[in-house]
Structure 1
């Protein structure tokens, strides 16, 4: 006698039971209830996919957008200073009897203020960034209109001592991702409203993040009196990590009035505005 609590599957007419089963029918598979482990696994897989999508956006698309905006902002700032200088050109400094010229040095700007534009042809034919005061991550390094920050306790462009700046190697525009490609003798141009300061790359150094001595007026020599005009660029190393710092040391080469754009970058200065 059949158990009244378990209804029997209806048999098609003309079929007979054999061995407790009816021909022409299929046995249903038991329904598997979701387990805690299964649900947790699906959640983790979904979370992993979302993380990968975010990283793809952060490391590729967002970098393209930020790179373009930072470059455009630098081009606009650069052209503004040139336009101002052409309206009231500054005289070319006259060398003294020893062949030295009086190089103008601007006063330290307020925090977060844009005071310079940096051009490094080795990093790209039209590579340029705005330099702001301080190395604040959110307001300077991650800014859509900056990307490079000045260590506020170091010297200004053209000043005897160490003009030190920082930028990301990866993320937020990949500012200095190609810094390690610099060759000895490569030019670095720093533009301010006072003129053009040209530096020449000299050498690299790899240090721990705590090695702040590289920012001294004479790097790593706290007791030394500075006699040179240096520029130090710092960024994280290796790319997409922050285990150490890559340091690029540069020496001063020459100065030119603000209306005299260096010939090597004349074709790209101001290019890309509003793009």
Structure 2
């Protein structure tokens, strides 16, 4: 019996070591793919801007469809509070594959600088975890979007937690369906829980800002 107990203990220890190593490898693999995807999208941006202003929409209009294809590099996101090295590229789309490459623009939401809601989602854990520190943002903090040769500065107006079913946070006027927007807003969404094991219980962290400088 003592031998059996020791054997079970050894098996449990080895299982723990294996699972821990597997998780470390998974994180490394996710971050490696994220870094490669980000580099590829930076090359896309360097080839496309400035100089193609036909893609820049009139800022007084509300766009119903994005001119960008899914997975295409769109803009660079800077949050000065997170340091000069924080510069993730935002791509078009919020599917699982899109968000594995970096923050993703909700298709159909406004583009940077437009009247409406420029809505962006991002991972808080894994795949580069670009929105890992989103909960540190406070009222008045700046969020800068580099888009088509311009720096668009938004100021944070609120942060809140909502249920994952509250998809109205990405509407042109957040949580007010059918209302015509009259401001240029930004909404950043991520999950409140950093632990993927409890993913099904987590809320959504929403950071919203208003354009203050073009």
Which bracket does the TM-score occupy, shorter chain normalised? Answer: 0.7 to 0.9
Per-residue displacement from partner, 1:105-142 (whole Å, max 9, x unpaired)?
8952111111211111212321011111111212x211
Q: 2:76 and 2:160 mapped to 1: Cα distance?
A: 24
Match of 1:135 among 81, 88, 94: 94
- Give the CA deviation at 1:213: 1.1
- Greater percentage in helix: 2
Q: 2:74 and 2:60 mapped to 1: Cα distance?
A: 14
Would the aligned equivalents of 1:77 and 1:117 in 2 still touch at CA under 8 Å? no
1:199 counterpart residue number: 154
Q: 1:238 and 1:125 mapped to 2: Cα distance?
A: 26
Would the aligned equivalents of 2:59 and 2:115 in 1 still touch at CA under 8 Å? no
1:212 counterpart residue number: 167
Matched residues, number: 202
Q: 1:119 and 1:247 mapped to 2: Cα distance?
A: 17
- Give the CA deviation at 1:73: 5.1
* TM-score, scaled to structure 1: 0.63
Q: How does 1:1-275 map to 2 (within 5 A)?
A: 42-59=10-27, 61-62=28-29, 65=32, 69=36, 72=39, 76=43, 85=50, 103=59, 108-138=67-97, 140-143=98-101, 147-193=102-148, 195-241=150-196, 242=199, 243-255=202-214
Q: 1:48 and 1:191 mapped to 2: Cα distance?
A: 44
Q: 2:194 and 2:60 mapped to 1: Cα distance?
A: 36
User: Which structure 2 segments of 5+ residues have no match?
Assistant: none
Matched residue of 1:128: which SS? coil
User: Which structure 1 segments of 5+ residues have no match?
Assistant: 1-31, 91-101, 256-275
* TM-score, scaled to structure 2: 0.79
Matched residue of 2:103: which SS? strand
Per-residue displacement from partner, 1:240-264 (whole Å, max 9, x unpaired)?
2431110000101122xxxxxxxxx
Matched residue of 2:88: which SS? strand
Would the aligned equivalents of 1:169 and 1:240 in 2 still touch at CA under 8 Å? no
- Give the CA deviation at 1:204: 0.3
- Give the CA deviation at 1:192: 2.2
Matched residue of 1:51: which SS? helix
Change (3 A) 1:250 1:73: farther
Q: 1:192 and 1:72 mapped to 2: Cα distance?
A: 17
